[in-house]
Structure 1
Amino acid sequence: MIEYIKDSDIKSLKKYKYSSVDKSLIQKYILNPYWCWLVEKVPLWVAPNLITLSGFMFMVFSVAMLLVYGSNWEQVPGWLYISWGINLFIYQSLDAIDGKQARRTGSSGPLGELFDHGCDALNTTLAFICILSALGIGKSLLCVFTILAALTNFYVSSWETYHTHTLFLSYVSGPVEGILSGCLLLIITGIAGPQFWSQTANQLFGTSNENLNFPLYIFVCSLIGVLAIFNVVCSSINVVNYTKGHNESLAKKTIGLIPHVFLCSFIMLWTKSSSTLIENNLIPFFLFIGFCFGHQVGLIILNHVAKKSFPYWNRMYNLVLVAGLTCMSVSTDFVGLAQKYGINLFSSLIKAQNYRDAIIDLLKGEGLNVAVFERYVMWGLVVISFMMYMEFALYVINRLCGIFDINCLSIKHPKTNNAVAEKPVYTVGVDGKKLISPESPLVSRRRRNRM
């Protein structure tokens, strides 16, 4: 087993303090008052990580229902799209109050941040699988591009947090405006159906403008791409400014983006070279990529809180490369590809073609074809990547629980009334000012004194 946390990391872990900046106006004036109200309804004995996990399970259930009703992007009942929108909103709400609950109960720490952002990383894939299903573009390269844009946005945000030691959320961010837009999109699909997004803007508005003669799903996916680029640029600027202010090497920090760019390029090449992957096996493929991405983000966050070097590569990236090359060797017509682009047939190319033909003959002998073979491979990769991710997650959880003498899903050392009274619980008001929470024992004591 890999030793992700060494004894030498404990000192840094115990000194770690969470820092974040959220510029969203919707969060400040609308959502935060609602979140403050919501967290006050949660009993103080409920652990913050349990809140996070509960919200995440709503999204797991959403994807599970997709696999039951439309495992290959088939249209599902309208009520299911609406339930996905509701589940996504519940996830956002519970994900937002786990930190507030941690402060109320005095249980803030590195484990909470790892658990929270780890679930966020995995949920990025789950949420976009549901959204892409609602848009009705599941069997296309546009679908792959869109989900990679979302994953890149999250990766760069994690890269930025590692180097600036602060989580920055701009005026328009995925956790706030992105999720709300996703909820609205899913509910609209539940009412009007996925075909709503296939109509052109001219059909929607009753116009004949040539500039609006494109399907609505093109607009949605383009908007996702533009917002991802905007956030990537903002994150890069923050890293540049931090680097200049601390006289550090920008080139060394930028290297951390290269593996992700390489992996995304390889994934696009993989999907482009295999028509059966896009037509039949894209959902398990996304789940596999989602676990690999979640593992890398988890390593970035862990190394950030432990003040370790940036993780440029991990063993699950190797799994992506091996699996991709194997599947491409079966699904790619090497001779046809060479003739198409005028490439000379070197002996290695002929050997690759012979290897491919031999595998296809073997599959035919077993009554299988490339699509079925690829489906078995994809679901096998989902299982393997899930096990590898859980091995990492359980190791980190158990190690941190041992270091800080805490439980993951329950509060091992509840605050005593006296201890809480000396250190009241605070919330943030609509104007951003710090207020004493109604749950604070200090407030309760004042109320009793007035009676």
Structure 2
Amino acid sequence: MINFDYEYLDSEQLAGFDKYKYNCKDTGLLSIYVMHPFWNWVVEFCPKKVAPNLLTFSGFAFTVITTVMFMIMDYYFYASDEEHPEFPPLPRWAFMLAAIFIFLAYTLDGIDGKQARKTGTSGPLGELFDHGLDSYSAGLIPLTVYSIFGRGDLYSLGVYRFYFMMCNILLNFYSPHFEKYNTGLLFLPWGYDFSMWGTIIVFAITGVVGHEFWQFRLENGIKTATIFELTIYGSALLTNVPIIAYNIYKSYKEKTGYMRTFSEAIRPLVPVTILFVICTIWVLLSPTRILERDPRMIYLILGTIFSNICCRLIVSQMSSSRCDIFNWLFIPLLLVVVSSLFVKIAFLELILTYILCAFVTAAHIHYGTCLVRQMCRHFDINCFSIKNKN
């Protein structure tokens, strides 16, 4: 029987959570002048008896439902690919439903903190729960958007280019938490609100006019998917990376951060680098071209292990403890990769990939569940209901 009372947090980390104070700064123009006023209005309709974490989880559930819907209807990302007419295109209602679900997920994620302050239930668990589920969503939402364009080279991106774009998206999400690990202050990236609204609008347009709307090339041969690709890479290079680097530099110059040594400061970059290196070696050297045979499984494995790494980093930066340099999920990942590279049996590699995806998903769910239960016991609170302290 699975033990969901396993304690992943040690006494040092729990003591760190006891001292934790929320320290976050949002400077995004869209967030400040549009989204926060809207969320302040929406949260007024939410009853005070509704727990903030219930809103957070409900928003995440809409993301999961959208992901599962596209997984069932377009597992291999061929539905919007003109080069594979044998796969029927997705109905427009699926894209419109995705726009509604992502909007609901975005809204619920925006009002959970306001509901916590409204009900007087703000605490470390809420922030950890929120950012932890967001780290999983960061790997799920791109998979739904990929179904709009398909995996063909005529109008979209091949599975290898999308793989590297996925790595970039995940790294963009990871970077602010790496920054907070060193500075003690989380600057919410401007790109988050724009990317969420971009996703919602693209889904809505597709739901109205169909996926064919995005299938065109400019006079110089640049296709629509390439524009999206360049936008994602450009936002990282022009906004995310320089701002984070400057904020870390400023914290050292003004002595406002943790003032860690260089080796300690870059510790969070080690596990995520190991993950990207192992997975990249696998997809590039796979003798049976596993990424082409089942790209969705590879993307899910990458996103799930990434979320586990990110959750552990969030625990470290919130509890002011030392970041893990190695994630034990690398062990089964390495075993599958090595077996695939040397055995060279297509059917076996595919089966091992399915087993690995199921295993890392179950392990990550176990980690998150045990983590939440342990913090609930420590703070004497409930996760999905507001406990009556009287």
TM-score (norm 1): 0.77
**CA distance in 2 between partners of 1:326 and 1:149 (Å):** 27
Whether 2:132 is the aligned partner of 1:118: answer yes
Which letter maps to 2:132?
G
**CA distance in 2 between partners of 1:192 and 1:139 (Å):** 24
Matched position secondary structure for 2:254? helix
Tell me the equivalent position of 1:419: none
> Residue 69 and residue 248 in structure 1: after superposition, are their counterparts in 2 closer, same or farther (change >3 A)?
closer
8 Å contact from structure 2 (residues 43, 114) kept in 1: yes
Structure index of larger Rg: 1
Whether 2:281 is the aligned partner of 1:272: answer no
**CA distance in 2 between partners of 1:192 and 1:288 (Å):** 33
Q: 2:35 aligns with which of 31, 34, 39?
A: 31
Aligned-residue sequence identity (percent) comes to 29
Q: 1:309 aligns with which of 297, 318, 322?
A: 322
Whether 2:232 is the aligned partner of 1:214: answer no
Greater RCO, 1 or 2 (C-alpha within 8 Å, sep 6+): 2
1:290 shift after superposition? 1.4
1:54 shift after superposition? 0.4
* Structure 2: gaps (5+ residues): 80-89, 152-156
Alignment of 1:318-337 (within 5 A): 318-330=331-343
Which letter maps to 2:69?
M
Whether 2:116 is the aligned partner of 1:108: answer no
Q: 1:259 aligns with which of 271, 291, 294?
A: 271
Tell me the equivalent position of 2:111: 97
1:243 shift after superposition? 2.3
Alignment of 1:27-66 (within 5 A): 27-66=31-70
1:139 shift after superposition? 4.6
Tell me the equivalent position of 1:173: 191
Alignment deviations for residues 22-70 of structure 1 (CA, whole Å, 9 cap, x no partner)? 1111111111111001111000000000000001111111111112211
**CA distance in 2 between partners of 1:139 and 1:201 (Å):** 19
**CA distance in 1 between partners of 2:382 and 2:31 (Å):** 30
Which letter maps to 1:173?
G
8 Å contact from structure 1 (residues 136, 197) kept in 2: no
Which letter maps to 2:379?
F
Q: 1:199 aligns with which of 216, 239, 263?
A: 216
Tell me the equivalent position of 2:254: 245
1:89 shift after superposition? 1.2
Alignment deviations for residues 344-373 of structure 1 (CA, whole Å, 9 cap, x no partner)? xxxxxxxxxxxx4xxx4xxxxxxxxx1x43
Alignment deviations for residues 251-305 of structure 1 (CA, whole Å, 9 cap, x no partner)? 4312432332342233222212236322221112211221111111110111122
Tell me the equivalent position of 2:95: 81
Runs of 4+ more than 4 Å apart: none
> Residue 90 and residue 12 in structure 1: after superposition, are their counterparts in 2 closer, same or farther (change >3 A)?
same
Matched position secondary structure for 2:25? strand
Matched position secondary structure for 1:168? strand
Matched position secondary structure for 2:187? strand
> Residue 321 and residue 198 in structure 1: after superposition, are their counterparts in 2 closer, same or farther (change >3 A)?
farther
* Structure 1: gaps (5+ residues): 203-209, 331-355, 361-369, 417-451
Supply the RMSD in Å over aligned alpha carbons.
Answer: 1.9
Matched position secondary structure for 2:339? helix
**CA distance in 1 between partners of 2:251 and 2:160 (Å):** 36
Tell me the equivalent position of 1:392: 367
User: Relative to structure 2, which stretch is displaced further, 157-166 or 271-280?
Assistant: 271-280
Tell me the equivalent position of 2:159: 140
